[in-house]
Amino acid sequence: MPRIVFAPAIQRHLPIPPQEVVATTVHEALEAAFGSQPMLRGYILDDQGTLRRHVAVFVDGAALRDRRRLGDALGPASEVYVVQALSGG
């Protein structure tokens, strides 16, 4: 099963342990995580259901390609890592 992990910076606001989830896409993995921590949804996704600008997601070490639909495919041994993105100038 794919595994979803939230970085410590996110867990300071909403604690959520790493989870193995039944999912074939990043969207499905996030939805599974939101099931155990519903308040996390508003921190990770905007009101349109797309990834917020201050959040980055990596699948097996590569940056998420589909930030809008979160449709990047997951394999049975994939790891999804959700981190607070850095911004500034």
Using CA atoms, how far apart are residues 37 and 17, in angstroms rounded to an integer? 10
Task: Work out how many domains the chain is built from and give that number.
Answer: 1
Provide the residue range defining the domain that includes 62: 3-84
Q: Which DSSP state fits 14? A: S
Q: How confident is the model at residue 85 (pLDDT cuts 50, 70, 90)?
A: confident
CATH number of the domain enclosing 78: 3.10.20.30
Residue 89 domain flag: no
CA dihedral 47, 57, 85, 61 (to 10 degrees): -170
- Digit-coded pLDDT (tens) for 43-81: 999 999 999 999 999 999 999 999 999 999 999 999 999
Residue 79 domain flag: yes
Q: 44 with 38: CB under 8 angstroms? A: no
Residue 45 domain flag: yes
Residue 22 domain flag: yes
Which residues are bridge partners to 19 per DSSP? 4
